[in-house]
Structure 1
Amino acid sequence: MAMLSCLGVAHAQQQPENIPWENSVAIAQKMAAGLLERQTGAKDFPTPSFAVEVDLNLDGFPEIFAYRYAPDCDGTHCGNFLFVLEGDSYQEVLGDIPGARLVPQDKIGLSAFKRNGFLDMQSDQMMIGWDGKRYVDASTFPASSLDGAAFMAACQKSRSNEQPAGGEAERVSAECQCRFSRFQVTGFTQPDLDRYTASLGENFEYPTGAKEIAWQALLKNAEDVGTGCDVASGKSQWPPAYFNHGDQPQQKLNFDSFLDACPAQDFILTNHKIGSPDRALSLCGCLAREMPTQGISQEGLDLVAQYYRNEISDADIEAEDADALTFHDKASEACLSQFPAK
């Protein structure tokens, strides 16, 4: 199983001069502290606890992986936690997997493959996958046994050049076999496979009307399988979510004041895309990530935090830092335009 990254190793190997990474970790740790307190009742976040942002569904709004240290941890109020925004609230999604809290971080990694929209993960010896609500042991998912002859023929034909280079036939065959194997692992039905196979040929009539939604979902799953196979073979990487990031060098910032003030602000909570404290927290995390890419300074960020606490007006901000509100507004537009639906 190809691994994109190992969470523990990624955490340990980041270099001090990587300011975007340091900012990301600072945001994750601030968000995780509140989520962990709610989950475990523990207010502290003792060294060597840590948290990182990891975008498991590649939507541009990362999930929060947190490790809370405790001596002789029993996995109840300490260990590994993964928080995913589902609907109105963050849910912890590792708790139903026996032993997952206690797996060493260097034995946790991301798979090349998605399932139900989220990347599979390796958790020690167990592969875990997304069931639509939480991560579960992937071996519990139903697999299917399919007749793949027509698919393999259509796949190889669609992926082959008219004048194949040496070794290309073997490469194409391996790519198609990977796809077929993954279709079975993820429980594709024979009608689904037959429909997708037909789309690889000529004169395929794309479904319309009521059938179009189901077809688009099937096509997305098939495309995810294809991308996963290309990632596993080293041919490509998962594309990041589109985001209108700024292009300025980031300064290392302290986000605590902003992340305390932002989720409580009425104009955040009452936005039609938000509507709950946890969705507000997710949006505020995005704002915290995006404002540094616009070039905001610590002074500018602190002014925005004061503004969110209703201590100063926008005119006061502009008098102190003419660019801070502009940076904030650009970040806000980028975040809200991509913010996930409930």
Structure 2
Amino acid sequence: MRGISIRAVALALGIALASLASAWAQQQQENIPQENSDAVARKLASLLIERQTGAAVPADRFWAYEADFNLDGFSELYVYVADPACDGVKCGLFVFVLEGDSYREVLGDIPGARLTDPAKVGFGAFKRNGFLDFQLDQILASWTGDHYADSSTFPATSLDGVAFLAACQKSKSSEQPEEGEAEQVAGECQCQFNRFQAIGFSQASLDTYTASMGENFAYPNGEKEKAWLALLKDAEDVGTGCGVVSGKSQWQPAYFKHGDQPQQKLDFEAFLDACPAQDFILTNRKTGSPDRALGLCGCIARELPTQGVTQTGLDLLTQYYRNDISDADVEEQDADLLTFHDQASEACLSQFPAK
């Protein structure tokens, strides 16, 4: 299976990830949006790593970046803690995902995952259970539903694909095929069939999906509709993954309504200390827990510069979050700041993960 580098996916999906090699990064032109994103990621990661390992990690011993592993528009955190004598427990690679009320580390169940050389890490071409596969050197990790596990431990199936392959090729073939098109279509359909087996599709699911390519298929409704939509989503993900393998398509992140203003490089430390403790953040119906408040504040911090908020404005909002000043005080000093803040907040809440 063809792997995709983190850097390549970052460029393709618009994910703000920096180079894993600091020397290379120093040669690049200044990228203020990426630097702001990295600064927010480092602050959040410092808190989560301290909780994970039981001790604060010096700033010069770790890096952290945003990466949208499930393409829902809300970023996960990809972290590396350096240690020449790494034990694979309190150092190495970490991925933090906001699931339910808490951030959870999701690589720890894979033996040796933390010790993977970061230069040998990348995304796979396919999704499983909504998350992109994750290549860790020779290990391909897939999403179980709440963490990553070695894909070789997942059950596969052996299916009868005669009807599917025929229907698939018919649906993809044009009335006047060009030279080589038949072979290309056959390859795409075979890729999909192979993937259906790899992810454990049942024969009944494959037969249902095959029938949906026909003209007289009756789409399920009522209680069966939810199962049908889940099956269809899996099939669509398989199709996209095969398109990535062939180079015909790429994964796209969920749409996120960013601001469009030029950014200034900001210091987010004080804001990210104050924001999660603010009652109107912590008690929002979409948050309701300290970790969800932290995740929302991280998103707001990333979005504020896209609205044109400067360091002066961010410092003013920090005072506002600490209850040191009122709405009127903020508006007196910057009439537009709360509007920009609200636009950033609304954008983040629109993409915020469900509990």
TM-score (norm 2): 0.93
Hey, what does 2:216 align to over in structure 1?
Answer: 203
Matched, 1:130 2:143: yes
The residue that corresponds to 2:79 in the other structure is 66
**Contact 1:257–1:305 under 8 Å retained in 2:** yes
Secondary structure at 2:187's aligned position in 1? helix
C-alpha displacement at 1:171, in angstroms? 1.1
Unaligned runs of 5+ in 1: none
Q: Which residue, 11, 18, 25 being the options, matches 2:20?
A: 11
Output aligned runs, 1:205-224, within 5 Å. 205-224=218-237
Moved more, 25-34 or 39-48: 39-48
Q: Distance in 1 between matches of 2:34 and 2:57?
A: 23
State the Cα deviation string for residues 172-226 of structure 1 (Å, max 9, x = none).
1111111111111000000000000111111211000000000000000110111
After superposition, residues 239-318 of structure 1 pair within 5 angstroms as 239-318=252-331
Contact 2:61 2:83 in 1 (8 A): no
Tell me whether 1:328 sits opposite 2:314 in the alignment: no
Q: CA RMSD in A?
A: 1.4
- Alpha-carbon distance in 1 for matches of 2:210, 2:147: 31
Give a deviation string over 1:88-108, Cα, whole Å, max 9, x none.
001111111111111110111
Q: Amino acid of the residue matched to residue 204 of structure 2? A: P
TM-fit CA distance, 1:315: 1.6
1:2–1:248 CA distance, 2 compared to 1 (3 A): farther
Whether 1:172 and 2:185 are equivalent positions in the alignment is yes
Q: What letter corresponds to residue 149 of structure 1 in structure 2?
A: V
Identify the residue that residue 153 of structure 1 maps to in structure 2. Answer: 166
Q: Distance in 2 between matches of 1:154 and 1:290?
A: 46
Of 23, 40, 43, the match for 2:36? 23
Q: Does 1:112 align with 2:125?
A: yes
More divergent stretch after superposition (72-81 vs 221-230): 72-81
Alignment of 1:39 with 2:48, yes or no, is no
Which of 275-284 and 65-74 deviates more?
A: 65-74
Is residue 233 from structure 1 mapped to residue 246 from structure 2 by the alignment?
yes
The count of residues paired between Structure 1 and Structure 2 equals 342
Aligned AA (1:3): G
**Secondary structure in 2 aligned to 1:84?**
strand
Give the equivalent residue in structure 1 for 2:98: 85
Q: Secondary structure at the match of 1:94?
A: coil
Cα distance in structure 1, aligned partners of 2:275 and 2:5: 31
Write the letter of the residue equivalent to 1:99: G
Return 5+ residue gaps in structure 2 as ranges.
8-16
Call closer, same or farther: CA 1:9–1:288 in 2, change over 3 Å: closer
Q: Could you say what secondary structure the match of 1:47 adopts? A: helix
| CA distance in structure 2 between the partners assigned to 1:210 and 1:23 by the alignment | 46
For the residues of structure 2 that align with 1:297 and 1:96, how far apart are their CA atoms?
42
CA contact (8 A) 1:45 1:68 kept: no
Question: Corresponding residue for 2:198?
Answer: 185
| 1:338 and 2:347 are equivalent in the alignment | no
Greater Cα shift, 314-323 or 167-176: 314-323
Q: Which moved more, 1:253-262 or 1:189-198?
A: 253-262
Q: TM-score, normalised by structure 1?
A: 0.97
**In structure 2, distance between residues paired with 1:39 and 1:16:** 34
The 2-side partners of 1:259 and 1:175 are apart by 47
Shift of residue 170, structure 1, vs aligned partner: 1.1
Query: Are the equivalent residues in 2 in contact too, given 1:46–1:69 (CA < 8 A)?
Result: no
* Contact 1:16–1:22 (CA under 8 A) maintained in structure 2: no
1:320, 1:179 → 2: CA distance? 58
Offset at residue 19 of structure 1 (A):
1.3
